[in-house]
Amino acid sequence: MIENGVVAVAGEALIDMVPAPVGDEYLEIVPGGSSANVAVALARLGVDTRLLARIADDVLGRRIRAHLTTNGVGLDHAARASEQTSLALVALGPDGGATYDFRINGTADWQWSTEELAGALDGPVVALHAGSLALTTPPGAAVLRELMVRAAAEVTVSYDPNCRPLLMGEPADVLAGVHELLAVADVVKVSNEDLEWLLPGTRPEDVLENWLTRGPALVAVTLGGEGVLAGTAGGVRARRPGVPITVVDTVGAGDTFSAALLAGLHRRGLLGAAARPDLRALDADTLDALLDDAALAAAITCSRRGADPPTADDLQARRPA
């Protein structure tokens, strides 16, 4: 593990039901959820990772725990929930793009209490990442959002809206919540698909400039196969190309990008409240290197079935000479 502190990840750990390789009429059970995917990707990249999740004490929940433990994710602060495991039904388009339908009413991921998060940031935690449904689904969303606000005084806060239109309500309402979290986030990753839903007709470049005025040190807008657009509070701007890849599916690609971006910052000692001035002053070469690594990691995930992010060795083997 990289000895630069622990990255905590807060949010959902659920089961993806994905088309099985034997035929679309069959579904395969795969542990997933945006936050769990980020945690696994971080751990595979050598980062000491702690998952803050409510994991059901049922057959599927035990499968999730086994998957996380096998991949080196710390579960000491994960709650053992009495509710059932959440399900995500994944459909894949001809280009491998994933769409989701969910079964989450009354399930484990969303029932957070303040008491369950006591001590969540204890120890050498240098960053907290959160996003997606966990920050919009009541009643637990309010508890996790408050954790992010409190965390900002102590650690780097990373945020990915990772929008799920079927479950998040009206875009204008979600955007207002996004703006609230931009005020406490240091690192923000958002996809062009998120922006098409939140701010239809607005250029990603314009969103980037607007969001950087709201507080973050670094904002990255992923553009699918077209690469990534990013900027810093210090005035650096970057646009990096996409990585040529044969896409199997896009499940977990955005989560892998977030994880690899955080892993790169972690490796450089740029996480933690004390490192905030250095994070805001990132130079162009460092930003390019961070984005290239994150895009490569996401591309590797797209070349595999499901949310199967690369290890540090996988990433090193694919870096340009």
Q: Read off the pLDDT of residues 178-214 as tens digits, 9 standing for 90 and up.
A: 999 999 999 999 999 999 999 999 999 999 999 999 9
In this model, does residue 24 exceed pLDDT 70? no
Residue 321 lies in a domain: no
Residue 292: which of 238, 236, 212 has the closest Cα?
A: 238
- Is position 259 within any domain? yes
Range 9-17 average pLDDT: 95
Lowest mean pLDDT among 44-58, 90-104, 266-280, 307-321: 90-104
pLDDT value of position 2: 54
Whether residue 20 lies inside any domain: the answer is yes
**Longest distance between any two alpha carbons in the chain, whole Å:** 52
Looking at residue 50, its pLDDT comes to: 99
Whether 92 maps to a domain, the answer reads: yes
pLDDT, one tens digit per residue, over 213-246 is 999 999 999 999 999 999 999 999 999 999 999 9
Q: How far apart are CA 122 and CA 154, in angstroms?
A: 10
32 Cβ neighbours under 8 A, 6+ residues apart:
14, 15, 16, 88, 251, 252, 306, 307
Tell me the pLDDT of the chain averaged across its residues.
Answer: 95
pLDDT tens, 83-117?
999 998 888 888 777 788 889 999 999 999 999 99
Of 23 and 67, which is predicted with more confidence?
A: 67
With respect to residue 203, please indicate whether it lies within any of the assigned structural domains: yes
Q: What share of the chain has pLDDT > 90, as a percent? A: 85
Confirm whether 266 is domain-assigned: yes
Residues spanned by the domain of 265: 2-316
Question: pTM value?
Answer: 0.95
Q: Examine the pLDDT at 263 and tell me if it is beyond 80.
A: yes
Residue 138 lies in a domain: yes
The domain total for the chain is 1
Asked if residues 88 and 17 have their Cβ atoms less than 8 Å apart, the reply is yes
- Where residue 1 falls among pLDDT bands split at 50, 70, 90? low
What CATH number corresponds to the domain at position 150? Answer: 3.40.1190.20
Domain assignment present for residue 292? The answer is yes
pLDDT band per the 50, 70, 90 thresholds, residue 23: low
